[in-house]
Amino acid sequence: HLLHELLTHFVLGVLVFSLIAFFSDILLSFLNDLQKVGLDTGKALWIMALQFPKSVALVLPAASFLAALLVFN
């Protein structure tokens, strides 16, 4: 039961934190670059997909800490 609670809160934390990190940092700089260079939509989406694992790797510690706080509090 404890592992299930930890895993549930961990996945929720990863989703929330990665979306916040992705849309705040990567998306804003990417939209500026898109305006300057004039990339097509397919290449723009591909570059965004390549940047997403970077933001996920940064939020894993925060998500695990959030899960531990929510379960053991």
35-38: long-range pairs with CB below 8 Å, 24+: none
Q: How does residue 7 score in pLDDT terms, banded at 50, 70 and 90? A: very high
Chain centre distance of CA 69: 20
pLDDT digits (tens, 9 = 90+) for 19-73: 888 777 677 777 777 778 887 778 877 877 887 788 778 889 999 999 999 998 7
Full-model pTM: 0.69
Sequence-separated (6 or more) residues with CB below 8 Å from residue 22: 51, 52, 55
Chain centre distance of CA 42: 21
pLDDT, position 43: 81
